[in-house]
Structure 1
Amino acid sequence: MLFAMQQNEGPLSRLRRDHERLVLDLLRKQGPMTRGELGGLCGLSRTTLYDIISALVASGAVVTSVPQSAHRGRGRPVERLTLNPQAGQAIGIDFARRAVHVAVVNVAHEIVGTASETHGSEMSEDKRVDVAQRLVGRLTGGALRLGALGAIGVGVVGPVGRPGEEAGLGHNGDTLAALVRERFEVPVLVDNNTRLAALAESTWGAATGEQDVLYLRLSHGVGGGLVVGGALHRGAEGLSGEFGHITVDPEGAPCGCGGTGCLETVASVGAVLGAYRAQGGRADDVPALIEAIASGDARASSVVSEAGARVGSVLAAVCNAIGPAVIVVGGELAALGRALTEPVERALSANILPVSRWRMSLRPAELGEAGAALGGIALVLHESPLLTHYPAESKPEEKA
């Protein structure tokens, strides 16, 4: 059990408890922060905040640390505050199409480890959960401590309307969620795995600390996610982030979604490799395409440049509508590097509102295949009940 408090029904006590909840909630969602950073987010007076922090540190709910780099500077090192790492661990599982990825993070936002295992497309849901359970056991040494968080975040392929159990996924995602809940005996929060990768990149990856992030994944499919005001945006029926199905060529190829000329038909792995082969090139995968570009093959560079231009135009339209501060690009095609991102940047700059050009930052994703599993953890940290054993449960009339 994490730290409990004495019950007191007075209004001042309830106000203090609300302040403590606010500080703990910010540390749970944002990770380590200085007192000044906390003050800027919570809106409490300096005196009140420092009093609350002192009490939380004294109780053991919050711990302080000084980053290694701070020891080398002059003056008094700036302490960072974080939830006590011993409070528990958070688990994220990504059930990708042909792989299972898991991640373990403690409540102080420190990544304990990640692991992955590929499998055939015919593997049953039950066996896939077996794989997840084995990988989690490997990372935790068989001593899983969910502790105060008491939930697992799960990423699945396809639309998910809302996070949580019995989410009505309409495919094998609901079975996977039920199996994970049964195996680990805790609630399960579920969301689309590409959206979860967006949340992870804004928590631990390329857009750490940013509140408004657009994530685009260029893989065998094209999709993405939006983090708006620090929270994952899902949209009606869980359809947010379907950037791959924005039309870029009304006369183009048919798309699996039923549309025509979608971005996915020109900027997915298969589409780009197909376009290169149609021009006489030979490449069976992205590494081979990278080699062709490096060798000076103009056909390969042209195909990638055209795909990048289409991507940049779509990103500009989305950015003009929602105004993110950062765009993160991931997926297998991101390995093409500047051959892809330069035409993306040119098209983005040409089509985005002039006032936004200098504010926009385009960055490569940093978390790789572990991104969605880490996003599942971020979902738990953002949306699970506040450290379930702290404060002690209030009486019904005291709950918000």
Structure 2
Amino acid sequence: MDYDLHAAVPSLEDQITSYLGENPPASRAELCEALGVSRTTLGRAITKLIDAHAVISLKGEEKTGAGRPSTLFTSARSCAYSLGIVISRASFAGVLLNRGGDVLIAQSIPASHPINYLEALDATGALLLERARTRGVITDYVHTIGVGLPVPMGSNVSHSPHSPYPSRESVTDIISRRWKGSILIDTTARLCALSEALWGAGQGYPSILYVRLSNGIGASLVVSYHLSGGDLGFTGELGHMRVPDVHTPCACGKEGCLETLASIPALCAQCDVSSLSELARKVSNRDSRTLSILEHAMDAVGACCANAALLINPRAIIVAGELPEAIPQVSDMLAHGLERELIPAMKWNIDVVRAELGPLAAAQAAAYAATTTASSIKKEHEGTR
């Protein structure tokens, strides 16, 4: 799936919901004057929004003068329009947004281990539904749903009976048990990158390499304000680049992948600790062996990032995930490994920066992506009729 990060021109429906979300109920005449459109054009848009339960008509309200009371329109602020759920190896996060993009419900909980992805999706969806009912949020008219999973979710993933990855069909089935609407499925890393590019550390950078260091290693690419999943949706599998002289079997079926050296479980195993907090404590205490292992692993990550940089020449590398959150020094270690592998005679000017946003922002990006993608597909379809 591809996402254009240039600011999209708001549709008339977007303009109406934005106006009504910021102002008192308005009549057709007031909306036409405020938005500069004809009554016929406004009427078509209003009908779509009422059908989508994004706008409510209020009858029997007379504002001025005599005659028949005019119909007023107001935003259905408490009616959910889009849903975003992002599963990572550290947390399960979900949000519900109304048609204006306001967050109605936001929920993030620590991940259970081992993770069953389909159970995690179902549990997160159930939790959002329960919270929505408790707070009076209407969920019957959700139109778009964005889902992120920390595994390859391209259109050509092999899903044999022994595959560790859920199929797109199984994800759709689980989501559809509780929610109705068009469903977008993508990788967690790509949706996290989208949130950073839109609202976080990536704002203003036309080209970005987003690298997520967690229980796995994922990446995503933004080139000229365009975030792409590639031909089949497999862009960014940085963690499965082979590292020289590493032969550890990987869960993907290969051996010597970067994840087997530089993921959190791999680092913990090498440093003889059972958790990231213990690893961080050893680093804080300047344990020489731990620091040496960590520097070697981040050199490898930096080298893989340099290989990517030689191809796409990003303006920034955003370092994200639980590892840099617990051990901030890894960003500098990665930067040193990167610099050693770039062409010395060329000034690359690549900023290595820490991510700013968390899982809820990624879930919001999932909902945003599902809505904007559904809108663009609809426009393309209408343009061919």
- TM-score (ref. length: structure 1): 0.67
Distance 1:127 1:137 in 2: 15
Q: What is the identity, as a one-letter code, of the residue corresponding to 1:216?
A: V
1:102 aligns with 2:94: yes
CA distance in 1, matches of 2:382, 2:105: 41
Aligned 8 A contact 1:114 1:139 in 2: no
Are positions 1:304 and 2:298 aligned together? Answer: no
Q: 1:179 to 1:284 in 2, by over 3 A?
A: closer
Structure 1 equivalent of residue 53 of structure 2: none
Corresponding residue for residue 249 of structure 1: 244
> Contact 1:25 / 1:386 at 8 angstroms: preserved in 2?
no
Match of 2:348 among 353, 357, 382: 357
Indicate if the aligned counterparts of 1:104 and 1:136 stay in contact, CA closer than 8 A: no
User: Are 2:180 and 1:153 equivalent residues in the alignment?
Assistant: no
Q: Is the 8 A contact 1:162 1:190 kept in 2?
A: no
Match of 1:222 among 217, 225, 228: 217
Q: CA deviation at 1:314?
A: 0.9
Contact 2:182 2:374 in 1 (8 A): no
Q: Which amino acid aligns with 2:348?
A: R
The yes-or-no answer on 1:284 pairing with 2:274 is yes
User: Which residue in the other structure is 2:337 paired with?
Assistant: 347
* Deviation (angstroms), 1:126: 6.3
The answer on whether the counterparts of 2:87 and 2:117 sit within 8 Å (CA) in structure 1 is no
The code of the aligned residue for 2:36 comes to: A
1:145 CA drift (Å) = 6.1
Q: Cα distance 1:220–1:23, how it changes in 2: closer, same or farther (>3 A)?
A: closer
State the shift of 1:110 in Å: 4.8
Would the alpha carbon gap of residues 115 and 54 (structure 1) be closer, same or farther in structure 2, given more than 3 Å must change?
A: same
| Residue in structure 2 matched with residue 143 of structure 1 by the alignment | 137
Gaps of 5+ in 1: 1-20, 33-51, 62-83, 164-168, 278-282
8 Å Cα contact 1:181/1:187 also seen in 2: no
1:91–1:152 contact (8 Å) kept in structure 2:
yes
Q: Using the TM superposition, give the Cα deviation of residue 91 of structure 1 relative to its aligned residue in structure 2, in angstroms.
A: 1.6
Deviation string, structure 1 residues 122-168 (Cα, Å, up to 9, x no partner): 86946842541322442582424697x821101124222259xxxxx
Deviation (angstroms), 1:120 = 5.5
Report if the CA contact (8 A) 1:199-1:378 is conserved: no
Match of 1:327 in 2: 317
Does residue 9 of structure 2 align to residue 23 of structure 1? yes
Counterpart in the other structure of 1:92: 84
- Of the structure 1 ranges 217-226 and 171-180, higher mean CA displacement relative to structure 2 is found in 171-180
Which structure shows the higher helix fraction?
1
Give SS of 2:107's match.
strand
Q: Quick one: structure 1 residues 112 and 211, their matched pair in 2 at CA, closer, same or farther if it must change by over 3 Å?
A: farther
Q: Measure how far apart 1:328 and its partner are.
A: 1.3
1:259 to 254, 265, 271: 254
Per the TM alignment, residue 317 of structure 1 is displaced from its structure 2 partner at its CA by: 1.0
Query: Could you list the runs of 5+ residues in structure 2 that have no partner in the other structure?
Result: 1-6, 19-32, 47-74, 157-162
Match of 2:107 among 98, 115, 123: 115
- Cα distance change of structure 1 residues 27 and 324 upon mapping to structure 2, 3 Å threshold: farther
Equivalent residue, structure 2, for 1:313: 303
- Cα distance in 1 for partners of 2:274, 2:358 equals 21
- What secondary structure, in the 3-state scheme, does the structure 1 residue paired with 2:282 have? helix
- Cross-structure match for 1:181: 176
Deviations 1:311-342 (A, max 9, x none): 11111110110122221111221124442111
Alpha-carbon deviation of 1:384? 1.7
Aligned residues: 320
Please name the residue that 1:201 is paired with.
Answer: 196
Superimposed CA distance per residue, residues 189-240 of structure 1 (whole angstroms, 9 cap, x where no aligned partner): 1112222211122122221344422211111211122233333311233221
The one-letter code sitting in structure 2 at the alignment partner of 1:160 is M
Compared CA separation, residues 326 and 136, structure 1 to 2 (3 A) = farther
Aligned to 2:67: none
Aligned AA for 1:314?
C
Q: Is the 8 A contact 2:212 2:321 kept in 1?
A: yes
Contact 2:105 2:128 in 1 (8 A): no
Shift, 1:275, TM fit: 1.9
Give the Cα–Cα distance (whole angstroms) in 1 for the partners of residues 259 and 243 of structure 2: 9
Task: Please tell me the residue identity of whatever aligns with 2:211.
Answer: L
Q: 1:372 to 1:295 in 2, by over 3 A?
A: same
Q: Distance in 2 between matches of 1:212 and 1:146?
A: 39
Aligned partners of 1:249 and 1:260 also within 8 Å: no
CA distance in 2, matches of 1:198, 1:256: 24
Change (3 A) 1:119 1:284: closer
Q: 2-side partners of 1:155 and 1:122: how far apart?
A: 14
Structure 2 CA distance for partners of 1:188 and 1:323, relative to 1, 3 Å:
same
- Residue 186 of structure 1, CA deviation: 1.0
In structure 2, distance between residues paired with 1:178 and 1:285: 34
Counterpart code for 1:306: H
Q: So what's the TM-score if we normalise by structure 2?
A: 0.69
| Root-mean-square deviation (Å) | 4.0
CA distance in 2: counterparts of 1:312 and 1:100, whole angstroms: 28
Cα gap change, 1:109 to 1:303, in 2 (>3 Å): farther
